[in-house]
């Protein structure tokens, strides 16, 4: 039985969202000059515009793409895109976790799209991406946070496509390379890879996506909070930071703080390197630990942000699924009590196991410190 480790992670927060704030974050570092003012006044507007400019720079967004800030985090961003832009042509939905399933459910039950093809895979597997039809719109998640599986690349997306690609990139943007030429509508929130406050999302629009917004109106009613049509205008004030409704200026200040940190870390390549170094620590631990395995057996599709783990079947053959869930509960309760790890339970609808955030705001040393605690908690919970 391993001894209780003596070194704890300096920060035990390993949640997949909201995620840990950047190293060194302090509330007192946030600017407050925009608070209590109209978001249409020049200073607050300039801050919102700065958030767009800085995000575009870090994400290396092409010059002819545009970014807008929308309400309701990534869900608001993705649903606004679906409600405002779908319906012109057939739609292919690829889903392999709870979030992809959410977009699928909307397409089926709410928008009731008449020409819908569904490509679904159970947790731990990817659907057949090669089935995507370039004549149709394609909906998919770059990194399925609940499953811990990402798309390995975008070669399956045609350069000559007529449809648009809609990509939920919330746990990928700022931690993975995004091939923008393959992505027409990309969404993410402020609360994932950069550890910002929730409530706002961003939508990145290709020129063809903006053309859809200017030329096409869906048959269904679109509530104003989901209406992106203003972004169909090439001169839209949304690209400068005007928002559909009143934004949180405190969340904006916090996101600016995260973006400044990201720039100091070396921009996108620095953020990706931090995330991969984190995954490498867990990989070394999994390789030397007989009781644990990655859910994503294939390295190319293994997430480097939302890392999902399952118990080796050979080590837990005495337990049914409920038994494994109880084991996870005992382990995570012990780890929380000891201040070693918070929020490493899997997504509620996912199979039992552990889920550990390895995004850029996590310090590699903290993951290294966490591994012996996992060994200890497993042994104690089994003992």
Ligand X SMILES: Cc1ncc(COP(=O)(O)O)c(C=O)c1O
Please report, as ranges, the residues that interact with ligand X according to CB under 6 A.
Answer: 17, 73-75, 99, 141, 145, 168, 170-171, 189, 191, 198
Residue 323: CB atoms within 10 A of its CB come to: 12
CA dihedral 297, 302, 305, 311 (to 10 degrees): -10
Rounded to a whole number of angstroms, the minimum distance from the CB of residue 218 to ligand X is 22
- The half-sphere exposure of 72 on its side-chain side, counting CA atoms within 13 A, is 12
Helix 249-264 and helix 42-59, axial crossing angle in degrees, nearest 10:
40
Measured between its terminal Cα atoms, the distance across the chain in Å is: 8
Q: Which is nearer to ligand X, 73 or 332 (CB)?
A: 73
Secondary structure (DSSP) of 100-142: HHHHHHIIIIIS--SSEEEEE--TT----GGG--TTSEEEEES
Rounded to a whole number of angstroms, the minimum distance from the CB of residue 197 to ligand X is 11
Q: Which is nearer to ligand X, 61 or 193 (CB)?
A: 193
Rounded to a whole number of angstroms, the minimum distance from the CB of residue 313 to ligand X is 27
Q: Are 87 and 112 in contact (CB under 8 A)?
A: no
The reply to whether omega before 18 is within 30° of 0 (cis) is: yes
Q: Which is nearer to ligand X, 74 or 106 (CB)?
A: 74
Rounded to a whole number of angstroms, the minimum distance from the CB of residue 92 to ligand X is 18
Q: Which is nearer to ligand X, 142 or 239 (CB)?
A: 142
Rounded to a whole number of angstroms, the minimum distance from the CB of residue 74 to ligand X is 4
Rounded to a whole number of angstroms, the minimum distance from the CB of residue 103 to ligand X is 8
Q: Which is nearer to ligand X, 254 or 375 (CB)?
A: 254
Rounded to a whole number of angstroms, the minimum distance from the CB of residue 16 to ligand X is 6
Residue 246: CB atoms within 10 A of its CB come to: 10
Q: Which is nearer to ligand X, 99 or 294 (CB)?
A: 99
Q: Are 125 and 150 in contact (CB under 8 A)?
A: no
Token pair recorded at residue 254? 């916090």
Rounded to a whole number of angstroms, the minimum distance from the CB of residue 151 to ligand X is 12
The SS3 call for residue 294 is strand
Q: Which is nearer to ligand X, 141 or 278 (CB)?
A: 141
Can you tell me which residue has the tokens 């606004």?
80
133 burial type by CB count under 10 A (0-12 exposed, 13-18 middle, 19+ buried): middle
Q: Which is nearer to ligand X, 106 or 375 (CB)?
A: 106
CA neighbor of 284 nearest in space, from 314, 316, 317, 307: 307
């Amino acid at each position: 039985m391993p001894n209780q480790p003596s070194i704890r992670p300096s920060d035990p927060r390993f949640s997949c969202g909201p995620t840990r704030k950047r190293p060194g974050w302090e509330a007192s570092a946030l600017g407050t000059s925009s608070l209590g003012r109209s978001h249409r006044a020049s200073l607050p507007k300039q801050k919102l515009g700065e958030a767009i400019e800085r995000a575009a720079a870090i994400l290396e967004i092409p010059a002819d793409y545009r970014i807008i800030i929308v309400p309701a985090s990534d869900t608001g961003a993705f649903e606004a895109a679906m409600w405002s832009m779908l319906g012109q042509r057939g739609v292919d939905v690829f889903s392999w976790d709870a979030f992809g399933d959410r977009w699928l459910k909307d397409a089926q039950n709410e928008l009731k799209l008449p020409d819908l093809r569904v490509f679904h895979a159970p947790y731990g597997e990817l659907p057949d991406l090669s089935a995507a039809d370039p004549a149709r719109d394609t909906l998919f998640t770059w990194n399925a946070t609940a499953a811990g599986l990402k798309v390995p690349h975008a070669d399956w997306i045609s350069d000559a496509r007529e449809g648009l690609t809609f990509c939920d990139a919330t746990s990928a943007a700022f931690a993975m390379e995004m091939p923008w030429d393959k992505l027409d509508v990309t969404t993410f929130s402020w609360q994932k890879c950069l550890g910002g406050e929730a409530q706002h999302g961003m939508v990145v629009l290709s020129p063809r996506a903006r053309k859809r917004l200017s030329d096409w109106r869906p048959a269904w009613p679109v509530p104003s909070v989901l209406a992106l049509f203003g972004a169909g205008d090439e001169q839209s004030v949304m690209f400068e930071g005007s928002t559909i409704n009143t934004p949180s200026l405190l969340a904006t200040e916090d996101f600016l703080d995260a973006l400044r940190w990201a720039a100091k870390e070396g921009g996108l390549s620095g953020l990706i390197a931090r995330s991969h170094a984190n995954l490498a620590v867990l990989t070394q631990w999994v390789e030397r630990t007989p009781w644990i395995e990655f859910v994503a057996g294939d390295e190319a599709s293994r997430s480097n942000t939302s890392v999902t783990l399952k118990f080796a079947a050979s080590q837990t053959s005495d337990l049914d699924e409920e038994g494994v869930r109880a084991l996870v509960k005992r382990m995570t309760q012990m780890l929380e009590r000891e201040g070693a790890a918070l929020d490493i339970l899997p997504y509620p609808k996912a199979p039992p196991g552990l889920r550990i955030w390895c995004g850029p705001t996590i310090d590699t040393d903290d993951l290294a410190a966490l591994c012996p605690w996992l060994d200890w908690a497993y042994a104690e919970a089994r003992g």
